[in-house]
């Protein structure tokens, strides 16, 4: 996977084995020295597989509108935290539907202002879609609560105190 320094934009290539048995890797940017933290995509995959019974049943393969969900084979999609307690953390999307929230989600936030099941990122034939899942405080795009919103490279959205940025990079 490729990760991009939140401070200066320097790109670094990470292999699965770089994580060893660790869930997260913390290292200084080679260009600017700022510390970066990256969560292993394996951990996210493992978490969803072991906690699925606690998540409301949502079909993995299709969106609510019936569109096919799949990850592109030639691009990597990451979420970078620009603001909040997890600032600097980069998540690689490892599934066509990634759940974000405070409990039993792929991306797990330790944030009281986030709902347990807050929102989802869906990737597929409709492009990349941010979907609020009935959160208490809302999923915000440009400070406006949205129920469904299309995301493109560089789009940002807020979940609780975290501001996420979507990034698409060639593999």
Q: Are the CB atoms for 24 and 39 separated by under 8 Å?
A: yes
Question: Which CB sits closer to Zn ion, 8 or 64?
Answer: 8
Provide the binding-site residues for Zn ion, judged by CB under 5 A: 5, 7-8, 10, 29, 31-32, 34
Question: Which CB sits closer to Zn ion, 90 or 94?
Answer: 90
Closest to 113 (Cα-Cα) out of 78, 154, 85: 85
Q: Are the CB atoms for 93 and 134 separated by under 8 Å?
A: no
- Min CB(14)–Zn ion separation in Å: 15
Question: Which CB sits closer to Zn ion, 29 or 133?
Answer: 29
Place of tokens 């409990």: 103
Question: Which CB sits closer to Zn ion, 9 or 145?
Answer: 9
Torsion of CA 77, 135, 117, 60, to 10 degrees: -60
- Min CB(4)–Zn ion separation in Å: 9
Which tokens sit at 46?
């493992």
Place of tokens 């995959």: 45
- Min CB(161)–Zn ion separation in Å: 23
- Min CB(28)–Zn ion separation in Å: 8
């Amino acid at each position: 996977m490729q990760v991009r320094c939140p401070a200066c934009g320097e790109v670094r290539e990470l292999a699965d084995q770089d994580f060893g048995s660790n869930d997260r890797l913390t290292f200084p940017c080679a260009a600017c020295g700022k510390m970066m933290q990256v969560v292993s995509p394996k951990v996210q995959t493992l978490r969803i597989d072991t906690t699925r019974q606690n998540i409301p049943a949502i079909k993995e393969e299709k969106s609510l509108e019936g569109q096919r969900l799949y990850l592109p084979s030639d691009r990597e999609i990451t979420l970078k935290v620009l603001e909040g307690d997890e600032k600097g953390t980069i998540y690689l999307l490892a599934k066509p539907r990634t759940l974000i929230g405070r409990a039993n989600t792929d991306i797990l936030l330790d944030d009281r202002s986030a709902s347990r099941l807050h929102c989802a990122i869906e990737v597929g034939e409709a492009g990349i879609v941010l979907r609020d899942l009935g959160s208490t405080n809302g999923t915000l795009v440009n400070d406006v609560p949205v129920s469904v919103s299309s995301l493109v490279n560089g789009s940002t959205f807020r979940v609780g105190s975290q501001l996420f940025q979507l990034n698409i990079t060639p593999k």
